[in-house]
Amino acid sequence: MSAPLLEGNDNSSPHFTAPPNYTFPHHRLNLLQRYPEKQPIVLVACGSFSPVTYLHLRMFEMALDYVRQNTDFEVMGGYTSPVSDQYKKPGLLSAHHRVNMCTIATEQTSQWLMVDPWEAFQSYQRTAVVLDHFDHEINTVLGGAQLPSSDERRHIRVVLLAGSDLISTMSEPGVWSETDLDHILGKYGTLIVERAGSDMDMDTATEALARWRHNIFLMPQLIQNDVSSTKVRLFIRRGLSVRYLLPAPVIDYIEEHSLYADDASNYDKKG
Ligand SMILES: Nc1ncnc2c1ncn2[C@@H]1O[C@H](COP(=O)(O)OP(=O)(O)OP(=O)(O)O)[C@@H](O)[C@H]1O
Ligand SMILES: O=C(O)c1ccc[n+]([C@@H]2O[C@H](COP(=O)([O-])O)[C@@H](O)[C@H]2O)c1
């Protein structure tokens, strides 16, 4: 697979690489706007999802509530986008299993969430390119949102949904390119879920990103939850129960394929 391609600027059509036989999932994407006075948005969460947890899924529900109560947006859909194997983060299971677990979690526990495998099954794609891919599929290919009782189509804004640790890395020098930050935070924007136990508080994290403040929406966690994939992997390795930290069908999948259990011959099959 060749390197990520993002050609041209906002005024020209970007060209994307794609995994073999790829089609953009949109079976749960709502393209008919209910509230024409609002701006339609789609939420995209990028990450490892190794494995997906209830916190990852809760992020979307928190975002729905936040958007309804605090913004003039209308949420039209939500996607997890698991990162490529080439990201090579410790504990990163193969994309095949991570996509399967996200699919099981979204299809079996949600009515509106989807998984886009585009990023997972090819070379590493920067987040700016991933958001451009969503923008292209939703607005250029599918034509954006339709207004009620009208043929008029409207541009759906893609918004990055992330935890506050991700926004912290955005203010660390050398992690993200300045051009990409301007693209992600200037063009798309982000909804940030406060992460319990995160080193930096959200105000500090966003100070360095102040020029994009109007596009950064901070959501406090009203019910604190600091489940992380790292802790789940650790528990499994130690043979501890992870039940109620992630959807039961995902635990069944992990057990069935003996995932994360390399040194856990004592892994409790009942979870
Ligand atoms: N407990 C949490 N609170 C807030 N955000 C979270 C939490 N766990 C994950 N996220 C967010 O979910 C997104 C996907 O993250 P990722 O899959 O890399 O999760 P992770 O649980 O941090 O993984 P790992 O533990 O393997 O580093 C990121 O934006 C991350 O900030
Ligand atoms: O695009 C970038 O430059 C970039 C820099 C750092 C992280 N990311 C993305 O952030 C997501 C979470 O990364 P991490 O390391 O916090 O698990 C993952 O989807 C990465 O592709 C993206």
Strands 39-47 and 73-82, by their bridges, are parallel
Instruction: Find out whether the beta carbon of 82 lies less than 6 Å from any atom of ligand 1.
Output: no
Q: Look up tokens 């949600």; give the residue.
A: 110
Type of residue found at 113: L
pLDDT at residue 167 tops 80: yes
Residue 83, CB-side half-sphere exposure with 13 Å CA sphere: 19
Predicted TM-score of the model (pTM): 0.92
Condensed to tens digits (0 to 9), the pLDDT of residues 30-75 reads 999 999 999 999 999 999 999 999 999 999 999 999 999 999 999 9
pLDDT band at residue 171 using 50, 70 and 90 as cut-offs? confident
pLDDT of residue 262: 79
- Closest CA relative to residue 120, chosen from 188, 25, 42, 189: 25
For ligand 2, mutation pick of 98, 126, 177 (most atoms within 8 Å of CB): 126
Please state the atom number of ligand 2 nearest to the C-alpha of residue 184.
1
Condensed to tens digits (0 to 9), the pLDDT of residues 11-42 reads 455 689 999 999 999 999 999 999 999 999 99
Ligand 2 center to residue 42 CA distance, Å? 19
Strand partners, 158: 42
Residues 195/165, Cβ–Cβ less than 8 Å: yes
Residues 145/33, Cβ–Cβ less than 8 Å: yes
Q: Look up tokens 């039209």; give the residue.
A: 76
Residues 34/74, Cβ–Cβ less than 8 Å: yes
Nearest ligand, CA 88: 2
Q: What is the mean pLDDT of the chain?
A: 89
pLDDT at residue 251 tops 70: yes
- Closest CA relative to residue 187, chosen from 33, 16, 66, 14: 14
pLDDT band at residue 231 using 50, 70 and 90 as cut-offs? very high
Ligand 1 center to residue 230 CA distance, Å? 9
**What kind of fold does domain 39-261 have according to CATH?**
Rossmann fold (3.40.50)
Please state the atom number of ligand 2 nearest to the C-alpha of residue 166.
16
Domain residue extents for the chain = 39-261
- Closest CA relative to residue 166, chosen from 24, 5, 44: 44
For ligand 2, mutation pick of 6, 46, 53, 89 (most atoms within 8 Å of CB): 46
pLDDT of residue 148: 86
Alpha carbon distances (Å) from 204 to 188, 209, 210, 215: 21, 9, 10, 16
pLDDT of residue 195: 81
Ligand 2, atom 5, lies closest to the CA of 176
User: 3-class SS at 188?
Assistant: helix
Give the mean pLDDT of 152-180.
Answer: 93
Residues 53/101, Cβ–Cβ less than 8 Å: no
Instruction: Find out whether the beta carbon of 49 lies less than 6 Å from any atom of ligand 2.
Output: no
Instruction: Find out whether the beta carbon of 98 lies less than 6 Å from any atom of ligand 1.
Output: no
Give the mean pLDDT of 165-192.
Answer: 93
Q: Look up tokens 């069944």; give the residue.
A: 252
pLDDT band at residue 188 using 50, 70 and 90 as cut-offs? very high
Please give the share of the chain, as a percent, with pLDDT higher than 70: 88
pLDDT band at residue 197 using 50, 70 and 90 as cut-offs? low
Residues 57/113, Cβ–Cβ less than 8 Å: yes
